[in-house]
Chains A and B, each alone.
Chain A
Amino acid sequence: MNRGRLLTILGPFLGLLFVYGFFASLDAVGQGSFERFGTLFTAGNLKTVAAQTTIVAVAALGMTVVILSAGIDLSPGSSIALVTVVVALTVQRLAPSPFLAALAATGAGVLVGALVGFINGLAVTTLRIVPFIVTLGMMGVARGVAKYLAGNTTVQNVPETWLSGLLAIDRRPDAPLWKLPVGVWVLLILAAGLFAVLRWSVFGRHVFAIGSNESAARLCGIAVARTKVLIYALAGAFTGVAGVLQFSRLAIGDPTAAAGLELNIIASVVIGGASLSGGKGGVPGTILGALIMGVLKNGCDIYGIPNYVQDIFIGLIIIVAVGLDQLRQRR
Chain B
Amino acid sequence: MRGVEKRFGATPALRSVELEVRRGEVHALIGENGAGKSTLMKVLSGAVAPDAGEMTLRGERYAPLGPDDARRAGVCMIYQELNLAPHLTVVENIFLGMEPSRFGIVRRREQEARAREALGALGHVDLPLHARAGSLSVSLQQVIEIARAIVSDASIIVFDEPTSSLTLKDAERLFEVIQRLRARGVSSIYISHFLEEVQRISDRFTVLREGLSVGSGDAASTPLPKIIELMVGRSLGEFFPRVPHTRGEPILELRGLCGDRLPRDVSMTLHRGEILGVAGLVGAGHTELLRAVYGLDPVTQGRVRVAAFEGGFEPPARRVRQGVGFLSENRKEEGLALARSIADNVTLSNWKPVSRWGWVFPAAQRRAADAWITRLAVKCRSAMQPVGDLSGGNQQKVALARLLYQGADVLLLDEPTRGVDIGSKVEVYRLMGELAAQGKAILFVSSYLPELLGVADRIAVMSRGRLSEARDAAAWTEHSILAQATGGEAA
Q: Are B339 and A279 in contact (CB under 8 A)?
A: yes
- B84 CB-CB contact with A under 8 Å: no
Contact with A along B351-382 (1 / 0, CB 8 A): 10001001110100000000000000000000
Contact with A along B320-345 (1 / 0, CB 8 A): 11000010100001111111100010
Which among A203, A205, A208, A218 has the highest number of chain B CB atoms within 10 Å?
A205
- A305 CB-CB contact with B under 8 Å: no
Contact with B along A206-221 (1 / 0, CB 8 A): 0011001101111111
Number of A-B contacts (CB under 8 A): 79
User: Which residues of B lie under 8 Å from residue A213 when comparing CB positions?
Assistant: 333-334, 336-339
- A200 CB-CB contact with B under 8 Å: yes
Q: A202-B351, A213-B338 are in contact. Are A220 and B320 (CB under 8 A)?
A: yes
Picked from B316, B338, B360, B384, the residue with its CB within 8 Å of the CB of A219 is: B316
Classify the secondary structure of B's interface with A. Answer: mixed
Picked from B319, B337, B355, B362, the residue with its CB within 8 Å of the CB of A202 is: B355
Question: Least Cβ distance of A133 to chain B in Å?
Answer: 21
Picked from A201, A204, A215, A222, the residue with its CB within 8 Å of the CB of B334 is: A215
Picked from A200, A215, A217, A220, the residue with its CB within 8 Å of the CB of B362 is: A200
User: Which A215-260 residues sit within 8 Å CB-CB of chain B?
Assistant: 215-223
Picked from A201, A215, A217, the residue with its CB within 8 Å of the CB of B348 is: A217
Q: Are A201 and B359 in contact (CB under 8 A)?
A: yes
Q: Are B335 and A202 in contact (CB under 8 A)?
A: no
Q: Are B321 and A221 in contact (CB under 8 A)?
A: yes
- A2 CB-CB contact with B under 8 Å: yes
Q: Are A221 and B360 in contact (CB under 8 A)?
A: no
Q: Are A205 and B344 in contact (CB under 8 A)?
A: yes
Q: A202-B358, A208-B337 are in contact. Are A218 and B344 (CB under 8 A)?
A: no
- B425 CB-CB contact with A under 8 Å: no
Which among B326, B334, B349, B402 has the highest number of chain A CB atoms within 10 Å?
B334
Q: A2-B384, A219-B296 are in contact. Are A209 and B340 (CB under 8 A)?
A: yes
User: Which residues of B lie under 8 Å from residue A279 when comparing CB positions?
Assistant: 337, 339-340
User: Which residues of B lie under 8 Å from residue A223 when comparing CB positions?
Assistant: 315, 317
Classify the secondary structure of A's interface with B. Answer: helix
User: Which residues of B lie under 8 Å from residue A217 when comparing CB positions?
Assistant: 337, 348
Q: A213-B334, A216-B334, A221-B319 are in contact. Are A200 and B348 (CB under 8 A)?
A: no
User: Which residues of A lie under 8 Å from residue B336 when comparing CB positions?
Assistant: 213, 216
User: Which A76-109 residues sit within 8 Å CB-CB of chain B?
Assistant: none
Question: Least Cβ distance of B176 to chain A in Å?
Answer: 35
> CB within 8 Å of B: which residues of A?
2, 200-205, 208-209, 212-213, 215-223, 279-280
Picked from A2, A202, A212, A221, the residue with its CB within 8 Å of the CB of B340 is: A212
CA distance A66 to B170 in the complex (A): 43
CA distance A2 to B366 in the complex (A): 15
Which among A200, A203, A213 has the highest number of chain B CB atoms within 10 Å?
A213
Which among A200, A202, A215, A223 has the highest number of chain B CB atoms within 10 Å?
A202
User: Which residues of B lie under 8 Å from residue A205 when comparing CB positions?
Assistant: 344, 347-348, 351, 360
User: Which residues of A lie under 8 Å from residue B349 when comparing CB positions?
Assistant: 220-222
User: Which residues of A lie under 8 Å from residue B360 when comparing CB positions?
Assistant: 200-202, 204-205
Pairs across A and B, CB under 8 Å, 6 listed:
A203-B358, A205-B351, A215-B333, A219-B334, A220-B348, A221-B316
Which among B320, B326, B355, B359 has the highest number of chain A CB atoms within 10 Å?
B359
A213-B339, A219-B328 known, 12 other contacts, Cβ within 8 Å = A201-B358, A201-B359, A208-B337, A208-B340, A208-B344, A213-B333, A218-B334, A219-B335, A220-B316, A220-B320, A220-B402, A280-B339
Q: Are A222 and B317 in contact (CB under 8 A)?
A: yes
Question: Least Cβ distance of A312 to chain B in Å?
Answer: 34
CA distance A216 to B339 in the complex (A): 12
User: Which residues of B lie under 8 Å from residue A215 when comparing CB positions?
Assistant: 333-334
CA distance A222 to B362 in the complex (A): 19
Question: Least Cβ distance of B221 to chain A in Å?
Answer: 44
Closest to A275 in B: B339
Q: Are B337 and A212 in contact (CB under 8 A)?
A: yes
Closest to A203 in B: B358
Question: Least Cβ distance of A325 to chain B in Å?
Answer: 14
CA distance A23 to B79 in the complex (A): 51
Picked from A2, A202, A212, A216, the residue with its CB within 8 Å of the CB of B359 is: A202
CA distance A220 to B317 in the complex (A): 7
User: Which residues of A lie under 8 Å from residue B337 when comparing CB positions?
Assistant: 208-209, 212-213, 216-217, 279
User: Which residues of B lie under 8 Å from residue A204 when comparing CB positions?
Assistant: 360
Which among A200, A208, A209, A212 has the highest number of chain B CB atoms within 10 Å?
A212
Q: When A and B form their complex, which 4 residue pairs have the shortest distance between CB atoms, in order from nearest? A: A221-B320, A215-B334, A212-B337, A220-B348
User: Which residues of A lie under 8 Å from residue B294 when comparing CB positions?
Assistant: 219
CA distance A200 to B360 in the complex (A): 5
Closest to B335 in A: A216
Q: Are B359 and A200 in contact (CB under 8 A)?
A: yes
Q: Are B358 and A209 in contact (CB under 8 A)?
A: no
Question: Least Cβ distance of A7 to chain B in Å?
Answer: 14
Contact with A along B402-432 (1 / 0, CB 8 A): 1000100000000000000000000000000
User: Which residues of A lie under 8 Å from residue B348 when comparing CB positions?
Assistant: 205, 209, 216-217, 220, 222
CA distance A217 to B337 in the complex (A): 7
Question: Least Cβ distance of B213 to chain A in Å?
Answer: 30
User: Which residues of A lie under 8 Å from residue B338 when comparing CB positions?
Assistant: 212-213
Closest to A279 in B: B339
Closest to A212 in B: B337
User: Which residues of A lie under 8 Å from residue B315 when comparing CB positions?
Assistant: 223
CA distance A215 to B358 in the complex (A): 22
User: Which residues of A lie under 8 Å from residue B326 when comparing CB positions?
Assistant: 219
CA distance A216 to B398 in the complex (A): 13
Closest to A280 in B: B339
Question: Least Cβ distance of B447 to chain A in Å?
Answer: 20
CA distance A130 to B326 in the complex (A): 27
Question: Least Cβ distance of B393 to chain A in Å?
Answer: 18
Closest to A204 in B: B360
CA distance A217 to B347 in the complex (A): 11
User: Which residues of B lie under 8 Å from residue A221 when comparing CB positions?
Assistant: 316-317, 319-321, 349, 406
CA distance A170 to B44 in the complex (A): 68
CA distance A204 to B337 in the complex (A): 14
CA distance A208 to B425 in the complex (A): 31
User: Which residues of B lie under 8 Å from residue A201 when comparing CB positions?
Assistant: 355, 358-360
CA distance A44 to B379 in the complex (A): 55
User: Which residues of B lie under 8 Å from residue A218 when comparing CB positions?
Assistant: 296, 316, 334
User: Which residues of B lie under 8 Å from residue A220 when comparing CB positions?
Assistant: 316, 320, 348-349, 402
CA distance A217 to B349 in the complex (A): 8
Closest to A196 in B: B359
CA distance A2 to B383 in the complex (A): 12
CA distance A221 to B348 in the complex (A): 8
Q: Are B339 and A212 in contact (CB under 8 A)?
A: yes
Question: Least Cβ distance of B370 to chain A in Å?
Answer: 16
Closest to A202 in B: B351
CA distance A242 to B336 in the complex (A): 36
